[in-house]
């Protein structure tokens, strides 16, 4: 685990030299096909040598829920164990890890009419988030005020079941039947991480990130409110293509959104139990030695 731009994928690839591990992605953006540069997906060469499961499993027009991840990841873990290998999960979608470790209660199915009603009820910018604060303050702290998909889901669950999302997702009987080792790659300081984030975004843009979004934009069946197009970078470039932002504004918003994501990931990790932290700016050999020593 760890915040974005800390080199999680590289470390996992290095570890394959020392351990019989098979990689599983825990990233809600890497699931989409045709979204490679902006998600910092491993190269085709790396993937041919070091395959990673749960990559490229959905088209950008499709949804993918935490419940689907829970089912898929358990299936992949079992398949890897049958091969006599060790499942090694890598990625930064902290809620997916939470679901894997704590389970996911049975929630009511989605209701399109209710969602439309909630969206039409009030045009105030952050109405959904304000409403959720009253109903489920714990979930409201976890869900960003611009994440309409998850906000609608949390409100929808309450109006259908009469119980909020936090109540329904408490499952004290669930236990993952494996021994787990948890590592977090942590930045030495905020400035180091912010610098890494900016360098990473500049490299993405140089590598053709805008062209990648243009191809998605020109498909004609995608729109900005899809979960895929709300991924950081894709949303900002999409708005630029719609002439809503200048290029500099687009770049600044990408930096801001990525830093905010990293801050949220670090907030999750500070509250995480049974985790070994390793500084990500160490020399790769020293970093790997620390992880292997703990194991």
Mean pLDDT of the chain: 92
The single residue listed with the structure tokens 């470390």 is 11
The region of weakest confidence among 146-150, 175-179, 212-216, 222-226 is: 146-150
Who wins on pLDDT, 109 or 271?
A: 271
List, for residues 192-207, the tens digit of each pLDDT value: 999 999 999 999 999 9
Query: Which residue has better confidence, 177 or 243?
Result: 243
Sign of the four-CA dihedral 219, 224, 228, 234: positive
Percentage of the chain with pLDDT > 90?
Answer: 76
pLDDT class for 82, splitting at 50, 70, 90? very high
Give the whole-number percent of the chain exceeding pLDDT 70: 98
- Check: CB of residue 86 under 8 Å from CB of residue 80: yes
pLDDT digits (tens, 9 = 90+) for 128-141: 899 999 999 999 98
Residue 246 has pLDDT above 90, yes or no: yes
Cβ neighbors of 31 (< 8 A, separation 6 or more) are: 25, 54, 55, 56, 57, 58, 64
Structure tokens at 194: 């912010």
pLDDT of 124 strictly over 80: no
User: Can you say whether the dihedral through the CA atoms of 113, 116, 122, 124 is positive or negative?
Assistant: positive
- Which regions of the chain carry the CATH code 3.40.50.300? 8-104+173-294
d(CA 294, CA 281): 18
Confidence band, pLDDT 50/70/90 cuts, at residue 110? confident
Is it the case that residue 22 has pLDDT exceeding 90?
A: yes
Please give the average per-residue pLDDT across 104-127, as a whole number: 78
* Predicted pLDDT at 172: 58
Residue scoring higher pLDDT (175 or 170): 175
**CATH C-level class of 112-168:** mainly alpha
Q: Where in the chain is the domain with CATH 1.10.20.140?
A: 112-168
Task: Return the sign of the alpha-carbon dihedral for residues 185, 189, 192, 198.
Answer: positive
Q: Which residues pair with 86 in a beta bridge?
A: 21
* Residues 262 and 4: beta-carbon distance below 8 Å: yes
With a cut of 90, say whether residue 104 has pLDDT above it: no
pTM: 0.82
CATH class as words, domain 8-104+173-294: alpha beta
Q: What is the b/e burial string over 149-162, where b = at least 16 CB atoms within 10 angstroms of the residue's CB? A: ebbbbbbbbbeeee
């Amino acid at each position: 685990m760890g915040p974005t731009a800390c080199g999680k994928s590289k470390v996992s690839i290095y570890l394959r030299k020392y351990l019989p591990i098979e990689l599983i992605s825990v990233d809600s953006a890497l699931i989409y096909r045709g979204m490679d540069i902006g998600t910092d997906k491993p190269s085709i060469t790396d993937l041919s040598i070091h395959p990673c499961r749960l990559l490229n499993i959905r088209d950008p027009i499709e949804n993918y829920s935490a419940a689907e991840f829970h089912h898929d990841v358990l299936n992949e873990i079992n398949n890897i164990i049958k091969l006599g290998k060790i499942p090694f999960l890598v990625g930064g979608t902290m809620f997916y890890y939470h679901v894997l470790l704590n389970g996911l209660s049975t929630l009511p199915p989605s209701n399109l009419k209710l969602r439309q009603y909630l969206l039409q009820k009030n045009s105030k910018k952050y109405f959904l988030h304000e409403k959720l604060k009253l109903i489920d303050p714990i979930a409201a702290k976890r869900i960003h005020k611009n994440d309409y998909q998850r906000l609608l889901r949390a409100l929808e669950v309450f109006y259908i079941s009469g119980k909020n999302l936090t109540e329904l997702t408490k499952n004290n009987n669930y236990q993952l039947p494996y021994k787990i080792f948890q590592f977090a790659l942590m930045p030495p300081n905020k400035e180091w991480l912010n610098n890494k984030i900016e360098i990473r975004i500049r490299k993405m843009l140089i590598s053709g990130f805008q062209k990648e979004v243009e191809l998605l934009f020109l498909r004609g069946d995608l729109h900005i409110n899809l979960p895929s197009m709300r991924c950081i970078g894709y949303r900002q470039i999409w708005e630029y293509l719609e002439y809503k932002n200048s290029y500099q504004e687009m770049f600044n918003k990408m930096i801001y959104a990525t830093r905010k994501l990293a801050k949220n990931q670090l907030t999750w990790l500070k509250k995480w139990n049974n985790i070994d932290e390793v500084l990500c700016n160490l020399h790769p050999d020293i970093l790997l030695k620390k992880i292997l020593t703990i194991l």
